[in-house]
Amino acid sequence: MTAKYLNPYTDFGFKKLFGEEGSKDLLMDFLNQLLPAHHQIATLQFNNSEQLNETSTERTAIFDIYCQTDTGNRFIVEMQKAKVNYFKDRSLFYSTFPIREQAKKGGWDFRLLPVYFIAILDFHYDEKEEERKFRRDVCLKDQDGDIFYDKLHFKFLQMPLFNKQEDELETHFDKWVYFLKHLESFDHIPLILKEPVFEKGFEIAELSHLQPKQYESYQKSLLEYWEVKNVMDTSYGEGFVDGEAKGEIKGEIKGKREGKMEVAIVLKQQGLETAIIMNATGLSREEIENL
């Protein structure tokens, strides 16, 4: 069955839903479900998502979404579709950029404004299975568990661990997670999500509303998503994927017939044109049509 709505785990889909001026109210509504009362968002502006270091030899960071409030609170929002090595270390490293950019020349008193790193994960990060939690709220605490510093927070959502069904949704936050996890599979708006913010999300996500160039960009983003997921599921198991390994991954897929066929099946189910699948996998038209 051809999908009606976009996949929010793709780069294009995530930024279409949350990273545009016209959808800023969706992002604020979602973030406010994760934030304490004293850090609720009333206004929001997008910042440059590419963060550069002071010298050319230092590592840069490119965030999915980087934004801040009118009071200066900063938010990094990441949709991570596949496991990476040292994910917690990477999250901490990324959080240093909005901290460092607050530094002022001259007589600065070192006062910092809050920074939040929020990660929506389409995988289980490396922890023992019995210790896995769908949601992790992390901040600096002392030996008694009391908050030591309230201006650096991490929020991790392991989406595969959210298993609530429609009749089990209790909070607005539950509805958001349910919306994101199942968006691509919906063929209509569920009754429980008939609220203005979700109805707008469905309208933005409807594939028929995309312009031709946008749809082409989405197809490329969807292809990348399934390439990465296929490698995770069939080739690497509990391995890793990051920006530097992406080229190697694509080569691995194209070198394995099983990988080609599995990617082609998924893309065909998503309604992509045969010519695009042929170009992506190297399979013939006849092979694809016979799947």
Q: How far is residue 127's CA from residue 257's CA, in Å, rounded to a whole number? A: 32
Residue 63 near residue 102 (C-beta atoms within 8 A)? no
- Under 8 Å between Cβ of 234 and 259: yes
State residue 56's pLDDT score.
Answer: 46
Rounded to two decimals, the pTM is 0.79
Residues 6+ apart with CB under 8 A from 214: 12, 16
Q: Could you give the 3-state DSSP secondary structure of residue 122?
A: coil
Residue 159 in contact with residue 177, Cβ under 8 Å? yes
Q: Which two tokens stand for residue 16?
A: 């279409």
Amino acid at 67: C
pLDDT for the residue 171: 97
Q: Which two tokens stand for residue 197?
A: 């913010």
Q: Rounded to whole angstroms, how far apart are CA atoms 120 and 157?
A: 5
Closest to 34 in 3D by CA, of 166, 189, 174: 174
Q: What is the DSSP letter of 129?
A: G
Residue 176: closest CA among 2, 22, 17? 17
Give the pLDDT of the chain (291 residues) as one tens digit per residue: 678 999 999 999 999 999 999 999 999 999 999 999 989 999 999 988 776 555 444 556 678 899 999 999 999 999 988 777 788 899 999 999 999 999 888 888 899 999 999 999 998 876 777 778 999 999 999 999 999 999 999 999 999 999 999 999 999 999 999 999 999 999 999 999 999 999 999 999 999 999 999 998 998 888 888 877 766 555 444 444 444 445 544 554 444 566 677 777 877 776 777 887 777 677 888 888 888
- Report the SS3 class of residue 78: strand
